[in-house]
Amino acid sequence: MDKYAQAFADAMNETGMRNTTVAAQLEGIGYNNVSQWRTGRRPIPADHAPAIAALLDVPPERISKAYARRMHAESARMAMASGGPDRGIVPIEHVAIQHLPGFGRGDGCERILLPEFIVRRELGPTPIENVRWAVQLSRAMEPEIKRFALVLVDTSISRHEDVVDGGIYAYTLWGRPDIRRLLVRRDAWCLVGQGGGSERIDVSTTDLSNIRIHGAVTGWL
């Protein structure tokens, strides 16, 4: 097992992700494919690496040798074109997005690279420079937003007065991070999940100072 397969296996174990869960997120990929990646019998293809990395909250170049080679080749090509190396270079047709502090396992993975067409599809008119990534750690928004989904957050929307009734937001309540739908009522904010079994949290207007809005959710992968 090479270091890429080991990193993939470690990430799967750390997150508790099942082979069937990964396979369900990837078109044309079955349980056996994921099993082979996990044991190192076959490498993860470069084209699938970004989506898998988003599920596991790791850089795609850490789990796919083919993706790492593609990034290296693109970086080298762009460095030659610009007359010298640049650690900040982003491969062509990709965008770099910074982690939203306080959400998920961002330590050691502050920046991720994602295909630009996927990001723009999720963001719509939202400027990319306003966006940060986070991980949905709870099941509160399932099945709409699955647990361990990579979530894109517009951090320009961070004031209480910016909150729109019915929108989905990344927030901390009494210091605890979560991603839920916010319902604005006259005497309280209601933090609700998607499923019927999800706990509803009511926060009175007198306690709203305990909610910090980190941004509006614009999309998820």
Mean per-residue pLDDT for 5-11?
92
Beta bridge partners of 191: 182, 201
Residue 131 has a pLDDT of 93
Confidence of residue 107 (pLDDT cuts 50, 70, 90): very low
Domains of the chain, earliest start first: 3-88 (1.10.260.40), 128-220 (2.10.109.10)
For 113-169, how does the pLDDT look when each residue is reduced to its tens digit (9 = 90+)?
788 877 888 888 888 899 999 888 788 898 888 877 889 999 999 999 999 999 999
* Spatial contact of 53 and 60, defined as CB atoms under 8 Å apart: yes
pTM for this one? 0.60
Mean per-residue pLDDT for 179-205?
87
CA angle at 130 for the pair 200 and 105, rounded to the nearest 5°: 60
Mean per-residue pLDDT for 75-103?
63
Q: Is the pLDDT of residue 86 over 90?
A: no
* Residue for token pair 């940060």: 132
Distance between CA atoms of residues 73 and 59, nearest Å: 17
Q: Is the pLDDT of residue 57 over 90?
A: no
| Percentage above 70 pLDDT, the chain | 86
Residue 50 has a pLDDT of 82
